């Protein structure tokens, strides 16, 4: 009996299996672009919302003093994110963590950060990495407060819970807006009041263009 046809079919089946395996990571999800690639994350799958903001030039709208204010506030937030990353990656509500939140957050917002970390410790949850920032610009400029819009994606974030990997919702892997509101009172450094990225209850995720 000629077995060439069955062998060909088997080979095709095996090849298809291997191809399918290559297209899925261990979670069964499509692999994400590596953080250092320059692949555009232009949203093609989601048809629910058009990006409402882009990185159009904004510096002409503000005075040089306002731009300096914005740059210092942004620097302060970026510094917080760098220092906080290992804390959220460890997921332990330590004294060091509490101090960091008090240094960088305004009033009770710092307590809520610490409460969040305590809850993560209780449920064994951690997140390592920080979001990839595509662009930043001010969205509100007051005398002692401002808001910063950033177009980010969560591809660098790695969540885990009690040793098991946790997935990121797909819509957060695509460019979306994060708004950071900050306050600077006299004699104090810039402090964070809120950070909104669309993940809180009742919040809508806002798309942005790269």
**Cβ of 74: how many Cβ atoms within 10 Å?**
20
32, 41, 157, 210: which one binds another protein (CB under 8 A): 157
Tokens of 134: 């595509």
Options 43, 73, 74, 106; binder of another protein; rule CB under 8 A: 106
**Residue from 102, 121, 135, 210 that binds another protein (CB under 8 A)?**
102
The sign of the CA dihedral 119, 124, 129, 133 is: negative
Q: Are 91 and 97 in contact (CB under 8 A)?
A: no
Cβ–Cβ < 8 Å for 176, 197: yes
23 and 30 in contact (C-beta within 8 Å)?
A: yes
Looking only at residues 163 through 182 of this chain, which bind another protein when binding is defined by CB under 8 A?
166-173, 179, 181
Positions 184 through 203 that interact with another protein (CB under 8 A):
185, 187-188, 192-203
Q: Which of 31, 35, 142, 189 binds another protein (CB under 8 A)?
A: 142
Residue 75, both tokens: 């620097």
- Judged by CB under 8 A, which stretch of 32-40, 51-59, 60-68, 155-163 contacts another protein? 155-163
Stretch in the footprint of another protein (CB under 8 A) among 26-34, 36-44, 53-61, 62-70:
26-34
Shortest Cβ 208–another protein spacing (Å): 14
Rounded CA separation 107/123 (Å): 26
Q: Which is nearer to another protein, 68 or 111 (CB)?
A: 111
Binding residues for another protein restricted to 54-83, rule: CB under 8 A: 77, 80-81
Stretch that binds another protein, among 35-43, 55-63, 65-73, 124-132 (CB under 8 A): 124-132
Q: How far is the CB of 88 from another protein (least distance, A)?
A: 4
- Give the span between the Cα atoms of 126 and 158, in whole angstroms: 8
- Could you say whether residue 208 binds another protein (CB under 8 A)? no
Assess contact for 113 and 124: CB atoms under 8 A.
Answer: no
Q: In sequence order, what are the residues at sequence separation of 6 or more whose Cβ sits closer than 8 angstroms to the Cβ of residue 131?
A: 152, 153, 154, 156, 157, 178, 197
């Amino acid at each position: 009996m000629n077995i060439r046809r069955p062998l060909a079919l088997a080979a095709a089946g095996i090849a298809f299996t291997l191809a399918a395996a290559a297209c899925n990571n261990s979670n069964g999800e499509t692999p994400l672009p590596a953080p250092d690639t320059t692949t555009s994350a232009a949203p093609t799958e989601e048809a629910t919302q058009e990006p409402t903001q882009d990185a159009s030039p904004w510096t002409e709208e503000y005075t040089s003093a306002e731009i300096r204010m914005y740059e210092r506030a942004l620097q302060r937030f970026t510094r917080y994110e760098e220092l906080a990353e290992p804390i959220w990656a460890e997921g332990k509500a330590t004294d060091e963590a509490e101090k960091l939140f008090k240094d960088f957050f305004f009033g009770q917002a710092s307590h809520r950060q610490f409460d969040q970390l305590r809850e993560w410790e209780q449920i064994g949850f951690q997140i390592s990495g920080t979001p990839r920032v595509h662009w930043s610009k001010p969205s509100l400029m007051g005398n002692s407060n401002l808001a910063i819009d950033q177009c980010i994606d969560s591809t660098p974030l790695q969540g885990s819970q009690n040793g098991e990997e946790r997935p990121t919702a797909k819509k957060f892997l695509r460019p979306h807006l994060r708004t950071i509101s900050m306050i600077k009172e006299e004699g104090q450094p810039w402090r964070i009041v809120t950070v909104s990225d669309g993940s809180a209850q009742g919040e809508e995720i806002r798309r942005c263009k790269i």
